[in-house]
Amino acid sequence: MGQRALILFAHGARAASWAAPFERLRDLVRARLPGADVSLAFLELMEPSLPAQVAALAAAGIEEVTVVPVFLGQGGHVLRDLPLMLDELRASYPALRIDAVGAVGEDPDVLRAMTDYCVGALGAASAAPKGGV
């Protein structure tokens, strides 16, 4: 385990299937950052919570944590809940440097990839037999 950690912070949901793309994202990021500790944490309904994950990292000797909100929109969870949690965590772990970046949905390249998918969806749905979901 390295000295730096990246936490992919997602909403969480009741259905276990919901986490699949987040787990794939974690695995892809982990493969690209062999020197860092890459993990998932959730706001609600799934484990670990962000405080639990930060506590585990601090106990493991991590010195720097970067939190990436894996949310499309920056609503109350990203703009209000997350900063409050980060403030509490910084107070609880003064030796730990905790940073956060903007939500993935605000990234231009993510937006571009979603645009391509949506544009392609019109053709894909028309070519497919009636029904879909």
The single residue among 59, 64, 89, 95 that binds a copy of itself, judged by CB under 8 A, is 64
115 burial level (CB within 10 Å; 0-12, 13-18, 19+):
exposed
**Residue 71 C-beta: closest distance to a copy of itself, Å:** 8
Neighbours of 120 (CB within 10 A): 10
25 burial level (CB within 10 Å; 0-12, 13-18, 19+):
middle
Alpha carbon 130 to chain centroid distance? Answer: 35
Is residue 60 a contact residue for a copy of itself (CB under 8 A)? no
Counting DSSP H helices and E strands in the chain, the numbers are 5, 4
Rounded to whole angstroms, the maximal C-alpha distance in the chain is: 58
Of 56 and 105, the one with the shorter C-beta distance to a copy of itself is 105
Is residue 10 a contact residue for a copy of itself (CB under 8 A)? yes
Helices 82-92 and 50-59, axial angle in degrees (round to 10): 30
In the shown chain, the binding pattern of residues 81 to 120 toward a copy of itself, with x for contact by CB under 8 A and - for none, equals -xx--x----------xxxxxxxxxxx-xxxxxxxxxxx-
**Residue 1 C-beta: closest distance to a copy of itself, Å:** 15
Is residue 131 a contact residue for a copy of itself (CB under 8 A)? yes
Residues that bind a copy of itself (CB under 8 A): 4, 6, 8, 10-11, 13-15, 17-22, 24-25, 28-29, 32-33, 36, 64, 66-68, 70-76, 78-79, 82-83, 86, 97-107, 109-119, 121-122, 124-126, 128, 130-133
